[in-house]
Structure 1
Amino acid sequence: MEYRILGNTGLSVSVIALGCEGFVGKTEEQIHLEMNFAISKGINFIDMYASNPDLRSNIGKALAGRRQQFIIQGHLCATWENDQYLRTRDVEKTIASFEDQLTRLHTDYLDIGMIHYVDSEEDFHEVFNGPIIRLALRLKEEGKIRHIGLSSHNPTVAKLAVESGLIEVLMFSINPCYDLQPPSENVDDLWADESYAHSLENIDPEREKLYELCEQKGIGLDVMKAYGGGDLLSETNSPFGKAMTPVQCIEYALTRPAVASVMVGCKSCDEMQAAINWCNATKEEKDYTPIMAGMEKFSWQGHCMYCGHCAPCSVGIDIASVNKYYNLTIAQNEIPETVREHYKTLSHHASECIQCGQCETNCPFEVAIIEQMEKATKKFGY
């Protein structure tokens, strides 16, 4: 298993993590078996958005005696009423659900307290100018949550949360289909057939700016819906008309700026293993470009996707990293210190480019790499 630091939290999280929806409807024995499997494979991170009391209790029993081995991301504002999940902004209901979660999980704190599912600007302002954010801050002060996060599908709203300075972690939906879509307050737009009926080109700039802003500010990104609700794994259901593998989907998510972990909603040990296979997959198995390159309706032409096809560079430059660090500076009047230091530690820098053109020949998206190296040299000075 590979581990990454989740933004500025200091938490070392497994790159493959568990979304709890895969455990819904299972017995205590089944959940215990699957949690044992996850732990044996090095998974140490779980997202608990679900408010189902039986699920919470069964996961709590499965983690009994090994709470310190696991990083738990629990959600504020997800409650259980009339035998079903309900998103709420009622502070009393939120407190009751939070305390119930701690009790059932046999813990006195959550590593991350995730403000649940904020997709509209109106909802954002209600949450961040009202009692919910004050509750989150109080719980953090009391040590009942260690870090505050937010889950969203809307890059515009997520950006507002990042810029507020009040969150440390963002849970966001990332995959190559959703990345094509403009911001929307209606999450259903992300998977609606009509959203993919017309031609789409490159990552939506608001989404790209969000990922880069998270990288700049040290906001840890953990990913939901990396498989697009399973659609990307199906040739029939994928908007691309081609099926991706779990490894390819995970590789795509993990190569976006600021991403530390992918929450996978596995329903079995086999599905868990299919995700964990990313850890030992070959470069060819991780390569998602055969699915994305050369399409008529969808195009990423001229846009660096950080896929690494430009390698090997004849002088050893990590071109994808240079491009990523350069892109992180575009919207800045000055180079962020963290970006400058990351660039500095590269073994080879943009100024070493000999303009042989080998990388451009290799690039499936026809990026003007030599020009990019010139821009990076000018920006960083070497």
Structure 2
Amino acid sequence: MEYRTLGNTGLSVSAIALGCEGFMGKTEEQVCSDMDFAIRKGINFIDIYSSNPDLRSNIGKALTNRRQQFIIQGHLCTTWENDQYLRTRDIEKTAASFEDQLVQLNTDYLDIGMIHYVDSKEDFHEIFNGPVIRLALRLKEEGKIRHIGLSSHNPTVARMAVESGLIEVLMFSINPCYDLQPPTENVDDLWADENYAHSLQNIDPERERLYELCEEKGVGIDVMKVYGGGDLLSEINSPFGKAMTPVQCIEYALTRPAVASIMVGCRSCDEMQAAIDWCTATKEEKDYTAVMTGMEKFTWKGHCMYCGHCAPCSVGIDIASVNKYYNLTIAQNEIPETVREHYKVLTHHASECIQCGQCETNCPFGVAIIEQMEKATEKFGY
């Protein structure tokens, strides 16, 4: 298993983590068996958005005597009514459900308290100017939440949350299909067939800027919907008309700036293993460009996707990393210190480019890499 630091939280999380969907409707014994498998494989991170009391209790029992080894991301603003999950902004229901969650999980704190499902600007302002954020801050002060997070599907709202300085973790939906779509307050738009019927080009700039902003601010991203609800794994259902593998989907998400972990909703140990296989996959197995190139309607031409196909550089420059660090500086007047330090410790720098052009021949997206190296040299000074 690979472990990554989740932003500035200091938490070391497994790159492959668990969504809670796969545990729903299972018995205590089944949940314990699945959790045993996950822990043996090195998984140490789980997201529990559902307020289902049986689900929470079964996970709590599965973590008995090993709570300290596991990082729990639980959600505020979910409650259980009429035997079903309900998103709420009612502060009394939110507070009561949070306390129930601690009891059900047999713990006295959550590593991350995630403000649940904020996709509209109106909802954002209600939360960040009202009792919900005050509750989250109080719970953090009391030690019942160690870090505050927010989940969203809308890059505009997510950016507002990051810029508030009040969240440390963002749970966001990332995959190559969603990345093509502009911001929307209606999450169903991300699945709508009509939104993929016309030609689409390159990552939406608001989404890309969000990932770069999180990297800049030290806000860690954990990813939901990495398979697009399963559509990307199906040639029939994928907007691309080509099926991706779990490993390719995971590799795409994990190469975005600030991303530390992927929450996968696995219904079986076999599905869990299909995600964990990313850890030992070859470069060829991780290569997502085979699906994303040569399409008529969808193109990423001229845009660095951090895929690494430009390698090997004849002088050893890690071109994908140079491009990533340079892109993190574009929207700013000065270079963030963290970005400067990351660039500094690279073994080779942009100024060492001899303009042989081998990388541009290798690049499947037609990126003007030599020009990018010149820009990076000018920006960083070497």
Bin of the TM-score, shorter chain as denominator length:
over 0.9
Matches within 5 A, 1:37-186: 37-186=37-186
Distance 2:79 2:281 in 1: 39
Deviations 1:199-235 (A, max 9, x none): 0000000000000000000000000000000000000
Distance 1:218 1:294 in 2: 35
Match of 2:322 in 1: 322
Distance 1:378 1:295 in 2: 34
Match of 1:285 in 2: 285
Distance 2:223 2:329 in 1: 23
Distance 2:307 2:94 in 1: 41
Match of 1:364 in 2: 364
Distance 2:284 2:131 in 1: 49
- SS of residue in 1 equivalent to 2:33: helix
Distance 1:66 1:104 in 2: 15
**What amino acid maps onto 1:240 in structure 2?**
F
**What amino acid maps onto 2:166 in structure 1?**
L
| Offset, 1:294 | 1.2
Distance 1:195 1:25 in 2: 33
Match of 1:311 in 2: 311
Identity fraction in percent: 88
Distance 2:261 2:83 in 1: 31
Match of 1:2 in 2: 2
- SS of residue in 2 equivalent to 1:356: coil
Gaps of 5+ in 1: none
> What is the number of residues matched between the two proteins?
382
Deviations 1:257-314 (A, max 9, x none): 0000000000000000000000000000000000001111000000000000000000
Q: Is 1:379 the counterpart of 2:371 in the alignment? A: no
- SS of residue in 2 equivalent to 1:150: strand
Deviations 1:177-218 (A, max 9, x none): 000000000000001101101000000000000000000000
Distance 2:70 2:34 in 1: 14
| Offset, 1:6 | 0.1
Distance 1:129 1:26 in 2: 39
Q: Over aligned residue pairs, what C-alpha RMSD do you find?
A: 0.3
TM-score, length-normalised on structure 2? 1.00
Matches within 5 A, 1:176-215: 176-215=176-215
Match of 2:22 in 1: 22
- SS of residue in 2 equivalent to 1:50: coil
Distance 1:80 1:369 in 2: 53
Distance 2:294 2:317 in 1: 26
**What amino acid maps onto 1:278 in structure 2?**
W
- SS of residue in 2 equivalent to 1:163: helix
Match of 1:264 in 2: 264
Deviations 1:143-168 (A, max 9, x none): 00000000000000000000000000
**What amino acid maps onto 2:206 in structure 1?**
E
Match of 1:220 in 2: 220
**What amino acid maps onto 1:6 in structure 2?**
L
**What amino acid maps onto 1:14 in structure 2?**
S
